[in-house]
Amino acid sequence: MKMYVVLFFILGISLSCKKNFTEFLEKPPGVDVTIDTIFSSERQIETFVASLYYYGLPAPTMPNWDNNRARIDGTIAGATDEAETVMTWYWSNRWNVGDFSPSSIIDLNYNNRWRVIRMANIIIENIDNSPVSNPNFKNRVKGEAYFMRAFSYLEMFQRYGGVPIVDKVLDVNDDLHIPRSSVEQTVDFIVNDADLAASLLPDSYPSNQRGHAPKGAPLMVKSRALLYAASPQFNTSSPPLSLGNDNSLICYGNYDQNRWQLAADAAKAVIDWAKTSEWCALVTDKGPSENHFYLYEYPDNSEVILAKKELNVIWTAQGQTWKSILPSALGGPGGTGVTLNFIKKYEKKDGTPQIWNMNGGNNLQQLYNELDPRFGQACAYNLSFWNEDFPYMELWRGGKHSADNITGVFLRWPLPRQQRTSAGQIPNEIQFRLGEAFVNYAEALNEAKGPVSEAYVAINTIRNRSGMPNLPSNLTKEEFRERARNERTIELAFEGQRLWDVRRWLIAINEGVMRGDMWGIKIERNADNSFSYEPYVFERRIFEAKMYLEPFPQSEVNKGYLVQNPGY
C-alpha cells in the first residue's frame, strides 16, 4: 500500500513537471528579428529597404569608408585613359597593370551583390503577404526590390557576361549549383525586372524621400543594359576570346541590328518619361560654363534620377570621402591626374579638334582656353580656379600645387567648389542622370537607323547646353558613331562609365585607351609668365583580350558548376 502511495506521488510530480520543462528548455519566442518581424510594419520594412540601398548601390567614383562592403580607393576613372590615380595602392592601378586573376578578383563587390539579390528576393517573396495595408507603399517597395535586382544583374552582366539567375531566396536545403545563364537570358532577366520595377515605382518622391528609386531609375537600367547588349562585345558571333561551345555565356552568337533599335527605344523611354514626370529635366538654365558644374555640385538637381546617399556628414575639403581625389597640395593624399590622352578628346569651342603638339609648345594657356567649357568644369588645369581657398592652381614645375602632378591636370570632378576647408557639402554619388539617356539614344539610333535627325537632336541637345555647336550635318554613320562616342565620353567623363564603354566597344585594347602609352604634360613657366608644355609618357599600361571580361573567383569555380570566362 505504502509503495503505491509513493509511486502515485512520483507519477503525479512527473506529469506536473512535464509542461514546465518543455517551457524551461524553450527560448522565448519573439525576441529575434525574423522575416515576419521585418514585414510586420512599414517602419520595419523601411529599415530593410535602407539596407537594400546601403549594400546595393555601387560606388565607382567615391570610396566606401566602412568595412562592411568592398572598398575601392579613389575613382575608377584611373583604370582607363581618363585618369591616373597618384596613389599606387589605389584600386584603379590594378587595372593599369592587369593585376587580377581568379584567385584575386578585381570585383570587390562580388559577394555583396549576391547579398543584395537575396535581400531583393526576400522582399519580392514576402511583401505581398505583409499585413501592411497601404498598397502604394507595398508597390513602391516591391518596385525597389525589382529595380535593385535588375541593377545588380546589370552590374554583373557588364563584368562577366551571362551569370547565374537567382530569382528566389535560397535556403540550406536548396540546390545552389546553378549554372551560368546565357547573355540573352541574363539581359532578358534584367529587362523583365526593370519593366516590372518601372510599372510599380512612382514618378517622383517628396524631397524628404529623395534617394529612393523613381520610375526613371529602372528605365535607365533597361536603357543601359540594352545598349551594352547591342554593343560589339556582346552583339556578335565572335567574342574577343572564344569559350567554344559555351560562347552563349559571353555573347549573343550573332549580330542583330534590331538590338540597337531596342536600345534606342529604351533610351527614348527615359527621355519621354522625364517629360511626363514634371520634375526630371536637363540642367540648361545655369549657362554653358555652369550647367555642368551644377550637375554634380548640387545634390538632387533636376537631372539626377538616382544618387547614392552614402553619408550625411558635411565633409569639408579635408573630409574623408572626397579626400582621395584631392591633390596633395590641397590637403589630399595625392590626387587624380587627367591624362593628355583624354584631354585631346575635348573639342575646341567651335567643334573642331584641338591641336596638341606632341613635341611641346609655348601656348598652353591658349590651348586650354579654347576647349569645350566642360573641360574647365571637370578638370583643374594650370591657373584655373579651384575654390576660394585656392583661386589659382599653380601646376607648373615648382608651382605651389605641383606636388604629385603627374599628368599636368588634376581631376576636380566631383568636388564642389563650395567644399572648402571651412565649409562643405553633403556627398551624393550620381547613379543615373538624364543626360546619359540622350547620349544612349543618339548612339543606339545611329547604329539602328543611321544618323537620322532624332539622333542629331539628342546629341545636339547635350552639346548646346554646354555651349558647343551642333554636329555638322551629313555625317556618315561611321563618322556619326565616332562623334557620338566622343560626345558620350566627354559628357559622362569620370562618372565611372568609360571603363564599360571602352570594353563594350572593344577598343580598350587599342593603343592609348587601356593599353600602351599614357601621356601627361610637363609644364614650365616661361620668363614672360607664359607657359610651355611638353608631353611625355608617364606610364605604359597593360590590357589583354581576356580583360574584356572579368574572372570569377577561383574558389567558386572550384565548386564545379561555374564556367570560367575565357583566358583565366
Partner 1 sequence: MIDKQYILVFFVSILFVNVLFAQDLDSVIDLGLNKYPAWKNTSAISEIKREGIQTNFTNSLVKSLGGKVHGLSVDIHNNEPGVKNVASLYVRGRSTFSSGTQPLVIVDGFEGFMDKILPHEIESIKILKDAASTTIYGDRGANGVILINTRKGRMESLEINLNIKHGIQTPTALPKYLGATSYMHLYNEALYNDGIKKLYNQEDFDGYENNASPYLYPDVNWYDVLLKERMPLSNYYLHFNGGNKVARYFALLNVLRDGGIFKNTENLSGTLSSDDYTQYNFRSNVDINVNKSLLASLYISGAVGEKNSMGGENTNSIFDLISNIPPNAFPVYNPNGSYGGNQLYVNPVGELQSKYHTVDDRMLSVNFRLTQNLGSVLEGLSVSSGVSFNNYHASYTMQEKGYRRFSLTEHNTSSFLYTAFGDESPISKDESNADRWQNFTFDAMVNYDRNYGKHDVDGVLMFKVSDKQQSYDYFPYRHALLGGSLLYGYGEKYLTSFSFSYDGSYEFSSKEKFAFYPAVSLGWIVTNENFFKDNNIISYLKLRTSYGLTGNDNIGASRRFLYNEFYYPALSYYFGSSNSSHSGLSESSLRNVNVTRERQKEFNFGAEIQLLNTLDLQVDLFKRKRYNILTKTHDRYSAYLGLESPELNVGEVENSGMEVSISYKYNSNNFSLGATMNAWYAENKILNNAEAMNLYSYLYKRGHPIGQPFVLESLGFFKDQDDIQNSPTQGFGTVRPGDIKYKDQNNDGIINDNDMFPIGLPSLAKLNAGIDLFIRYKNFAVSVFVNGVSGGTVSLDPKYYKAIQNQSNVSDLALNRWTENMADVATFPRLSSINNENNFKASTLWQRKRDFLKLQNIELSYEIPKRTLSVLGIQSSRLYVSGNNLWTIDHMEGLGDPQLVHGRYPALRSYNLGVDIKF
Give the shortest CB-157-to-partner 1 separation in angstroms: 15
Distance separating alpha carbons of residues 234 and 154, to the nearest angstrom: 13
The grid cell for 541 is: 599600361
Task: Return the number of the residue (60 or 239) whose C-beta is nearest partner 1.
Answer: 60
The grid cell for 424 is: 562643405
Q: Which of 436, 404, 343 is nearest to 82 (CA)?
A: 343
Q: What is the side-by-side order of every strand in the sheet holding 83-85?
A: 83-85, 336-338, 409-411, 379-380
Task: Return the number of the residue (37 or 357) whose C-beta is nearest partner 1.
Answer: 37
Give the shortest CB-187-to-partner 1 separation in angstroms: 19
Distance separating alpha carbons of residues 31 and 222, to the nearest angstrom: 42
Q: Calculate the CA 446 to chain-centre distance.
A: 24
Give the shortest CB-415-to-partner 1 separation in angstroms: 17
Task: Return the number of the residue (73 or 556) whose C-beta is nearest partner 1.
Answer: 556
Give the shortest CB-232-to-partner 1 separation in angstroms: 29
Task: Return the number of the residue (55 or 146) whose C-beta is nearest partner 1.
Answer: 55
Q: Are 179 and 165 in contact (CB under 8 A)?
A: no
Give the shortest CB-302-to-partner 1 separation in angstroms: 12
Q: Are 201 and 132 in contact (CB under 8 A)?
A: no
Q: At 523, which helix (H) or strand (E)?
A: strand 516-525
Task: Return the number of the residue (337 or 416) whose C-beta is nearest partner 1.
Answer: 416
Task: Return the number of the residue (212 or 401) whose C-beta is nearest partner 1.
Answer: 212
Distance separating alpha carbons of residues 387 and 307, to the nearest angstrom: 24
Give the shortest CB-471-to-partner 1 separation in angstroms: 36
Number of H helices and E strands in the chain, helices first, is: 19, 8
Q: Are 230 and 259 in contact (CB under 8 A)?
A: yes
Task: Return the number of the residue (26 or 278) whose C-beta is nearest partner 1.
Answer: 26
Give the shortest CB-12-to-partner 1 separation in angstroms: 9
Dihedral of CA atoms 54, 56, 61, 64 in degrees, nearest 10, equals 40
Q: Are 119 and 51 in contact (CB under 8 A)?
A: yes
Give the shortest CB-304-to-partner 1 separation in angstroms: 11
Task: Return the number of the residue (22 or 529) whose C-beta is nearest partner 1.
Answer: 22
Give the shortest CB-71-to-partner 1 separation in angstroms: 13
Task: Return the number of the residue (16 or 359) whose C-beta is nearest partner 1.
Answer: 16
Task: Return the number of the residue (166 or 383) whose C-beta is nearest partner 1.
Answer: 166
Give the shortest CB-164-to-partner 1 separation in angstroms: 6
Distance separating alpha carbons of residues 568 and 546, to the nearest angstrom: 7
Give the shortest CB-215-to-partner 1 separation in angstroms: 17
The grid cell for 106 is: 578585381
The grid cell for 307 is: 544618387
Q: Which of 76, 106, 69, 89 is nearest to 414 (CA)?
A: 76
The type of residue at 246 is D
The type of residue at 476 is T
Distance separating alpha carbons of residues 223 and 480, to the nearest angstrom: 20
Give the shortest CB-86-to-partner 1 separation in angstroms: 23
Q: Calculate the CA 68 to chain-centre distance.
A: 19
Give the shortest CB-334-to-partner 1 separation in angstroms: 22
Cα–Cα distances (Å) from 475 to 90, 438, 445, 472, 505, in that order, read 41, 18, 14, 7, 20
Task: Return the number of the residue (142 or 465) whose C-beta is nearest partner 1.
Answer: 142
Task: Return the number of the residue (146 or 543) whose C-beta is nearest partner 1.
Answer: 146
| 334: CB partners within 8 A, 6+ apart | 85, 86, 87, 327, 328, 404
Task: Return the number of the residue (279 or 385) whose C-beta is nearest partner 1.
Answer: 279
How many alpha carbons lie under 13 Å from residue 283 in its C-beta half-sphere? 24
Task: Return the number of the residue (6 or 527) whose C-beta is nearest partner 1.
Answer: 6
Burial class (CB in 10 A: 0-12, 13-18, 19+), 47: middle
Give the shortest CB-42-to-partner 1 separation in angstroms: 12
Distance separating alpha carbons of residues 18 and 531, to the nearest angstrom: 93
Distance separating alpha carbons of residues 297 and 378, to the nearest angstrom: 11
Q: Which of 484, 546, 553 is nearest to 233 (CA)?
A: 546
